[in-house]
Amino acid sequence: MIGRLNHLAIAVPDLEAAADQYRNALGAKVGEPQEEPDHGVTVVFIELPNTKIELLYPLGENSPITSFLEKNPAGGMHHVCYEVDDIIQARDHLVETGARVLGNGEPKIGAHGKPVLFLHPKDFNGCLVELEQV
């Protein structure tokens, strides 16, 4: 059911420093910061030949990244995003297998203007999973 790894997301305590490190030390193609108020994050996308890296920084009062950074002050792996063809079909199948969908269970529009859903990390070996319909 899942397809390509769309991106891997890393929560960072200093977005500019992290973007500079990927640009200069790692020599990657780094995009401009994008604010996503619906998700409570500012995002920088890094284009790799086979996938993307998403640097996440808190935006606004109730950002999910704030509590993550309190637990992981140096930053850390936040989620993996897999591509699916049909997000509603994927969600319904996952719910049937006992997986929990975060929020109200309905897809939101994600950073690439496509519908996304998040699955409970406790149901996936401690790893938050994002699904993106492509």
Rounded CA-CA distance 100/131 in Å is 13
Q: How far apart are CB 54 and Co ion at their closest, in Å?
A: 5
The reply to whether 9 sits near Co ion by the rule CB under 5 A is yes
Contact call for residue 130 and Co ion (CB under 5 A): yes
* Segment 64 to 93, residues that bind Co ion, using CB under 5 A: 81
41 touching Co ion, by CB under 5 A: no
Of 1-9, 45-53, 62-70, 98-106, the window that binds Co ion (rule: CB under 5 A) is: 1-9
Q: How far apart are the first and last CA of the chain?
A: 13
Examine the residue annotation and report whether 83 is marked as an active-site residue of this protein: no
**How many Cα neighbours within 13 Å face the side chain of 39?**
22
- Closest distance to Co ion from the beta carbon of 15 (Å): 15
Q: Do 1 and 46 contact (CB within 8 A), yes or no?
A: no
Enumerate the active-site residues: 130
